[in-house]
Amino acid sequence: MKKKQDASTEERPWFKVWPGHLPKNLEYPEVPAWWIIEHNIDRFAGNTAIVFVNHEDLGEIERLSYKELWQKANSLAHGLRELGVKKGDRVATLLPNSPAIIISYYGIWMSGASITPCNAMAKEKELEYQLKDSGARILIAADTFGAMAAPVAGSLGIKLILASVGEKADTGAIKNTLDFRKLISSGKTRPTDFTIDPDENMAVLLYTGGTTGDPKGAILTHRNIVANTMQFAHWYDFKPGEEVSLCTIPMSHSGGMSGVMNVPLYAGATLVVMKRFFPEPVAKAIEKYRVTRFFGVPTMYVALLNNENARKCCMTSLKACRTNAAPLPVAVKQAFDKFVGREVLVEGYGLTETSPLTHANPLEKPKAGSIGIPLPDTDCKIVDIQTGEDLKEGCEGELAIRGPQVMKGYWNKPEATAKVMADGWFRTGDVACMDEEGYFFIIDRLKDMIICGGYKVWPREVEEALYKHPQVRMAMVVGVPDDYYGEVPKALIVLKDNPEGNISSDEVIAFCKKNMAAYKMPRIVEFCTELPISAAGKVLKRLVREKEKEAHRSSKEPSKGDCDAYRKKQ
C-alpha cells in the first residue's frame, strides 16, 4: 500500500520551472527506514557500499559490500535485542563518520529502537544532557571517545559499547564495556517480532543545535526518513548503482544522515567515507575515486578553492553538488563552477526538523542566490512574522513548510512544538521571499536580524557584499551592542592568502559604502585567521554575539584576534 502525497496538487508558481525528469508527486512505500538498504540487496549485494579512507593520506582502512553491510547491521540488531533493547527504546551514538555509524543507524532501526546521534565533537556536559533528555538505554561510542563516554554512561546507568573507527585507542582502563566488533560479527539474526508504523514510530531523535536555550530533540518518523530520502535522490537524479559519493559532512547531523548516507545507499552508490574534511585529501579523493556526488557546506567549497594543491586536482567527474546548512555566497558558487568547468554547485535548503531537505534548485535551471523550489509533495508559503497571514510573492516574511518530511514534533516539549506547528505548517524561523517563478530566497534567520537605529539589517545581505571584495575569503556579520543605535553591524573577515592587515578596516567600510545603504554598512571590522565553525559547517554567530555582549556589559572593547578565541571555545 502506497502513502498518498501530503502537498496540494493545486497549481503552484514553481511548477512552471519543475524538473522535466521528475513527477510533482511521488509514491512512498509504507516501510521502515531500514528498507533504504534492504530494497537494494538483491540487485547490488556484491557492489561496494563503503570505502573507509584515512582523511590524511587516503589509505584505505576498510571496504564493505552491500551484502556485508546488511549482515553486520542484522548482527547488531540481534545483539541489541539480546541486551534487552525493545521497540520504542532509544540507543545513542557518539561516532565520527565511519562504517560504524552507518551500521549503527540501520542496526538500531532493525532492533526496533530509535537512534539519537550525538555530535562527535560534543563535550561531557552536552553528551550527558542528550543521554538524559532522550532516555537512551545504550550508548555506542568510538573507542577514541571512551575516556569521556565511560564516566557519563556509568553515572546514568546505561550500557556502553565501544567501536573502533580506524584509530588505535587505549581502552585498557575502561571497564564494563561491550565490544562493537563482536556484536556486528556474530552472523546471528532474529526474525522481526514487532511492527513498525511508519507514520507514528520514531526512527531518529535528532537534536537541534541549541542556538537558543537547551537543544531540542526533533522526532523524525520512519516515514519522514524514507520520504525525504526518496525526494532527495529523485530530485538530484541519482542513477542506481552508478554513483560514487564522497562523505565528509558528519552523519550525526541531519544533512550528513540524509545527503551523504541515506540517499547514496538508497541509490546503491559507493560511499567514500572520511572522518574529517581537509581540502587537499578531499580533492585527491574526488580525483582518485571519480566521485560523482560531493554534498557539502559553503565553507568546504571555499576551502577547496583556496587550497593550491586542491586546485591542481581534476574534479570533472562531479555531477550536481548540493550545498546546505548555511547560505551559499553567489561569488563562491560562480568560482567553484568555473573551477570544475561547468555548473555543478547548486544550493538547497533544509532543517533538522524537516529530515532535512525541503528546497533545491532545478538542475536544468538553477538560480544563483536562491535555495530553489520546494521538493515533490512539499508545499511552502511566506507568512507575516507577527500575524501569520499569507503574503504575496515578493514580500519578505517567515517561511512556512508542510510535507511528508516535516517532523512529528519536539521530544517531550509540547509547548515548543505548538509554537512552531500550526494547522500542519512548520514555521521555520527563517525570513524569506518568493519570486514570480516560485524560487525562494532566504533573507536571514529571524534571530540574526540586526536593528540598527530602528532599521532592519539582514546580515546575509552585508555578507554577500563583502564577498565581492577581491581580497575577502570568508565573512561573517553580526549585530553588536551600541549605546546610541542599540545595535550596529560588525564584520569578521578572513582574507585570501594575505597577511592580516593587508587591507584596512576603513577600506572595507569604504567598499561597502559603494554597495549599500549607510545604515547597513559594518561599523566595526575585525580581521581573523579563521571563523568559528561547527562540525556541520555552520558559522557560529551565537558565540560571537555572546562574546560581544559580555564585552559590552563589562565596558571593555574586544581585543584584536578575539574571533579566533571564539573558535577555540567551540
We report the CATH number of the domain holding residue 470 as 3.30.300.30
Q: What's the rounded mean pLDDT across residues 420-443? A: 93
- Closest listed residue to residue 235, CA positions, set 417, 41, 376: 376
- Which residue is listed with cell 528546497? 359
On whether both 287 and 404 belong to a single domain, the answer is yes
Angle between helices 562-569 and 541-553 (to 10 degrees): 120
On whether both 547 and 469 belong to a single domain, the answer is yes
Poorest-confidence range of 118-127, 204-213, 234-243? 204-213
Within-domain flag for 25: no
On whether both 229 and 331 belong to a single domain, the answer is yes
| Contact criterion met (CB below 8 Å) for 377 and 384 | no
Q: What's the rounded mean pLDDT across residues 155-174? A: 91
Within-domain flag for 100: yes
| Contact criterion met (CB below 8 Å) for 216 and 413 | yes
**Domain stops at, among 434, 460, 487:** 434
Beta-strand (E) ranges in 435-548?
Answer: 440-445, 450-452, 455-457, 472-482, 486-495, 524-528
Q: What's the rounded mean pLDDT across residues 280-291? A: 97
Over residues 27-68, the pLDDT tens digits come to 999 999 999 999 999 999 999 999 999 998 999 999 999 999
Q: How many domains does the chain have?
A: 2
- Closest listed residue to residue 544, CA positions, set 562, 519, 522: 562
Over residues 525-547, the pLDDT tens digits come to 999 988 888 766 777 887 888 88
Centre a 10 Å sphere on the Cβ of residue 468 and count the other Cβ atoms it contains: 14
Angle between helices 66-82 and 99-110 (to 10 degrees): 60
CA 29 remoteness from chain centre: 25
State the Cα angle at 134 between 132 and 136, rounded to 5°. 80
On whether both 192 and 272 belong to a single domain, the answer is yes
- Closest listed residue to residue 222, CA positions, set 206, 202, 207, 205: 202
| Contact criterion met (CB below 8 Å) for 377 and 279 | no
Beta-strand (E) ranges in 310-424?
Answer: 321-323, 345-350, 357-360, 373-374, 379-383, 397-402, 409-410, 421-422
**How far, in Å, CA of 5 to CA of 15, rounded?**
16
| Contact criterion met (CB below 8 Å) for 374 and 24 | no
**Domain stops at, among 434, 462, 487:** 434
User: Which pLDDT band, with edges at 50, 70 and 90, does 217 fall under?
Assistant: very high
Strand, coil or helix: what is 515?
coil
User: Quick one: pLDDT at residue 3?
Assistant: 57
| Contact criterion met (CB below 8 Å) for 512 and 462 | yes
User: What percent of the chain shows pLDDT beyond 70?
Assistant: 93
On whether both 471 and 514 belong to a single domain, the answer is yes
Which alpha helices (H) appear in 404-530, and where do they start and end?
414-420, 459-467, 505-513
- 379 beta partners: 402
Dihedral sign (CA 74, 78, 79, 85): positive
On whether both 229 and 107 belong to a single domain, the answer is yes
φ/ψ bin of 403: left (φ > 0), alpha (ψ from -120 to 50), beta (otherwise): left
User: Which pLDDT band, with edges at 50, 70 and 90, does 570 fall under?
Assistant: very low
- Closest listed residue to residue 277, CA positions, set 266, 262, 253: 253
The Cα-based distances of 74 to 89, 97, 111, 183, 551 in angstroms read 17, 20, 8, 10, 54
On whether both 472 and 402 belong to a single domain, the answer is no
Within-domain flag for 13: no
Give every CB contact of residue 216 below 8 A, 6+ residues apart in sequence.
207, 208, 210, 410, 411, 413, 416
Within-domain flag for 335: yes
| Contact criterion met (CB below 8 Å) for 466 and 508 | yes
Please tell me the pTM assigned to this model.
0.84
Helix (H) or strand (E) holding 425: strand 425-434
The Cα-based distances of 14 to 361, 439, 517 in angstroms read 11, 7, 32
Within-domain flag for 1: no
Within-domain flag for 343: yes
Over residues 292-338, the pLDDT tens digits come to 999 998 889 989 999 999 999 999 999 999 887 677 888 889 999 99
300-332 burial by CB neighbour count: b if 16+ within 10 A, else e? bbbbbbbbeebeebebeebbbbbbbbbbbbebb
User: Which pLDDT band, with edges at 50, 70 and 90, does 486 fall under?
Assistant: confident
On whether both 245 and 354 belong to a single domain, the answer is yes
φ/ψ bin of 406: left (φ > 0), alpha (ψ from -120 to 50), beta (otherwise): beta
User: Quick one: pLDDT at residue 564?
Assistant: 45
User: Quick one: pLDDT at residue 80?
Assistant: 97
Poorest-confidence range of 34-38, 156-160, 484-488? 484-488
- Could you tell me the CATH number of the domain that includes residue 349? 3.40.50.12780
On whether both 384 and 501 belong to a single domain, the answer is no
Over residues 342-371, the pLDDT tens digits come to 999 999 999 999 999 999 999 899 998 899
On whether both 470 and 344 belong to a single domain, the answer is no
User: Quick one: pLDDT at residue 294?
Assistant: 97
The more confident residue out of 69 and 569 is 69
User: Quick one: pLDDT at residue 513?
Assistant: 85
Q: What's the rounded mean pLDDT across residues 235-239? A: 97
State the Cα angle at 154 between 148 and 160, rounded to 5°. 75
Over residues 445-466, the pLDDT tens digits come to 777 878 786 677 878 888 888 9
On whether both 186 and 223 belong to a single domain, the answer is yes
**Domain stops at, among 434, 469, 484:** 434
User: Quick one: pLDDT at residue 568?
Assistant: 40
User: Which pLDDT band, with edges at 50, 70 and 90, does 560 fall under?
Assistant: very low
On whether both 389 and 530 belong to a single domain, the answer is no
List the grid coordinates of 412: 517531550
Within-domain flag for 443: no
Domain, as residue range, for 298: 39-434
State the Cα angle at 212 between 207 and 214, rounded to 5°. 50
Within-domain flag for 489: yes
